[in-house]
Amino acid sequence: MSQNTSPLSIQEQLARQQETKTNWLLCTPALIVLFLAASGPLLVMLFYSFLTPGDYGGVEYQLSFDGWMNVFLFRDIFDDVLSIADAHVAIFWRSIRLSLMTTITCLILGFPTAYFIATRPRQSRNFWLFLITIPFWTNLLIRTFAIMEVIRNKGIVNNLLIDLDLIQQPIQMLYTDFAIMLGMTYVYLPLMILPLYASMEKLDFGLIEAGYDLYATRIRVLRKVIIPLIKPGIIAGSILVFIPSLGAFVTPRVLGGGKNLMLGNLIELQFGQGRNWPLGAALSITLLFIVMAALLLYVKNVQKSGVQHD
Amino acid sequence: MISRGIASKPFSVRKLPGFTFIAILCFALLYAPIVTLVGYSFNAGNSLAVWEGFSLQWYYAAWQNDKVQGAAILSVIIALQASLYATILATMAALGTTRTRNFRGQTAIYTMINQPLMVPEIVTAVALLICFAVIKQATDYHGLVYLVIAHTAFCIPFAYLPIRARLEGMDKSLEIAAADLYATPWRCFRRVTLPLLWPGILAGAMLAFVISLDDVVITEFVKSAGQDTLPTYMLGQLRRVITPEINAISTALLAISVLMVSLVFLLNRKKS
């Protein structure tokens, strides 16, 4: 074991072993709670995805692969013909599409904002950052409600547009895909700005000046100097927005009404009216896999660009 | 450093055209809906978009509403317990994982602790629903313990991060000095480590409290009948006609969050 660190006395080795033991003991209580209410249940859910749905919710303890099959396929109850489950595919597609659009919108809004904060004098940066963190720590449901109240048919935006005679009838914004995207952008924007800022704070403006000295235009400096330098921040922010968007549940429920479902709502449905727990479990694990894939991609990218992740 | 007088300079390497405009727009967009929501909580009428004068009637209505009262009390009971347990567990875990040599299984511990941050909430929520449904059926116990355990678990990473950050910035020499002076490990912890670590612990506890107080998804799936917290009560009101009463409840919750986060901000600033 310790051949490469050979000059360790037995005493020191014992001390190290003792230290490791203490460390583990200190972590054990937290790990137990996390196992009981975070990791363990995921394993139970994996088990449940291979069972048969019960008639009134719950499961019957009988092996079945229908839960997994039903994620993308649909068996006709009359002639047993398998076909693609269009509804599920549509919801997966909507989730991914809306999450991507949210990520891009957050990037378009967040990039200049982070740059703005990073170029403030040092003393006032904390204040601007604080303004970004406050919404991040306030209740997601409340922020979603705030958006809902603003874009309702009788909400302040429509009232204003009617008063200005720009429109005669209120525009139906609530309960559309647009509303969901707007809500998610609003809710997750701080998650984009904070990592972008972290990268921009370390930006060496000497390099930008050098770019200008060499007669680069502003666009060229942005494209060839600034963006490559803060790429880790762009990737981190995009992942941090994309992942919760994909698993969003509250925002599509409040802003999408009952019909514009996203993955999170489809999962909930299986535990409510759908009464198909194994399918719900399989869908959840599918979502988890997509998220893990995105995270792995992120970790790989971070390692490649040699940036310390904390 | 480049000089500060950005506005007075004809050309600044730091400035990109349009960026300041978008940034200001962004801040306005972040705050406009919240400000509107707070503003209409003081509306005298029952509209969420037509101003009919200032009144505190919706705060009074919310205060008088038994369901709101019950939900508020339950929210606080759960948040206090969860943040207390999560902070204790997170402090221990932080002591076990910082300022130490890399040890076997350290990465596994990090992964476990950060799991609530990585796994989508809806996934954890339905997994908990499945597990607790089995236990509820087997034991016929429907108490608060399920909610407290679930909240404690997802509060741990939020409490852990500021505590760990604080610990990493602490010099170990004081503790070594205490040990050299024959302080027992416990005494050394009580008299040296704990007082130095206190701001981190406080910050962690407050963040955990806010996170627990605000949780919707996991609570919605774990709660038994009649165990509504304020957020799940609000979610339940969606199907009814929404009045500024919801805004009043929201404003109260917002005020608590903003207060707590401001305190955390101040605590952290003092350090640096």
Write out the residue range of the structural domain in which residue A92 sits: 85-304
In a domain, A299, yes or no: yes
From chain B residues 127-156, the ones with a CB under 8 A of any chain A CB are 127-131, 133-134, 149-150, 152-154, 156
Cβ separation of B19 and A116 shorter than 8 Å? yes
The verdict on a CB contact (< 8 Å) between B112 and A150 is: no
Which tokens in the block code for residue A249? 């549940």
Residue of B nearest to A246 (CA): B120
In a domain, A45, yes or no: no
Q: Are A41 and B114 in contact (CB under 8 A)?
A: no
At B153, is the pLDDT very low, low, confident or very high (cuts 50, 70, 90)?
very high
Closest residue, chain B, to A182 (C-alpha): B29
Mean pLDDT value of segment B58-76? 93
Per cent of chain B over pLDDT 70 is 95
Pick from B26, B47, B258: CB nearest A109: B26
ipTM of this complex:
0.87
Looking up residue A225, the CATH number of its domain turns out to be 1.10.3720.10
Cβ-in-10-Å burial (0-12, 13-18, 19+) of A226 comes to: buried
- Asked if the structure places residue A68 within a domain, the reply is no
Which residues of chain B make contact with A287, given a CB cutoff of 8 A?
A: 120, 122-123
Q: Does one domain contain both A148 and A289?
A: yes
Among B30, B91, B151, B219, which would you mutate to test the A interface (most chain A Cβ atoms within 10 Å of its Cβ)?
B30
Same domain, A156 and A252: yes
* Nearest-Cα residue of chain A relative to residue B237: A254
Dump pLDDT digits (tens) for A10-40.
888 888 888 889 899 999 999 999 999 999 9
B127-145, pLDDT tens digit by residue? 999 999 999 989 989 889 9
Residue B63, CA atoms < 13 Å, CB-side half-sphere: 6
Q: Taking a contact as any Cβ pair under 8 Å apart, which residues of chain B between 15 and 44 contact chain A?
A: 15-27, 29-34, 36-37, 40
Closest CA–CA distance from residue B264 to any residue of chain A (Å): 11
Q: What is the pLDDT of residues B73-85, one digit of tens each?
A: 999 999 999 999 9
Greater confidence (A155 vs A189) lies with: A189
Residue-level pLDDT at A5? 53
How confident is the model at residue A6, as a pLDDT? 58
CATH number for B65-271 (one of 3.40.50.720, 3.90.550.10, 3.40.50.2000, 1.10.3720.10): it is 1.10.3720.10
Same domain, A156 and A272: yes
Residue A217 belongs to some domain of the structure: yes
Both tokens of B153, joined, read 């678990």
What chain A residue is nearest to B150 in terms of C-alpha separation?
A37
pLDDT of residue B124: 96
H or E element in which residue A109 lies: helix A86-118
Instruction: Using alpha carbons, select from B125, B151, B116, B113 the residue that is nearest to residue A281.
Output: B125
Does A42 contact B127 at a Cβ distance shorter than 8 Å? yes
Instruction: List all residues 6 or more positions away from A145 whose beta carbon is below 8 Å from its beta carbon.
Output: A254, B37, B234, B246, B250
Assess whether A182 and A241 both reside in one domain.
Answer: yes
Q: Does residue A66 belong to any structural domain of this protein?
A: no
Mean pLDDT of B238-260: 88
Residue range A200-205: average pLDDT? 85
User: What is the structure's pLDDT at B38?
Assistant: 93
Q: What is the pLDDT of residue A305?
A: 63
Model pLDDT, residue B5:
47
The mean per-residue pLDDT over the stretch A49-64 comes to: 85
Q: What is the pLDDT of residues B109-128, one digit of tens each?
A: 999 999 998 899 999 999 99
Residue-averaged pLDDT of chain A: 87
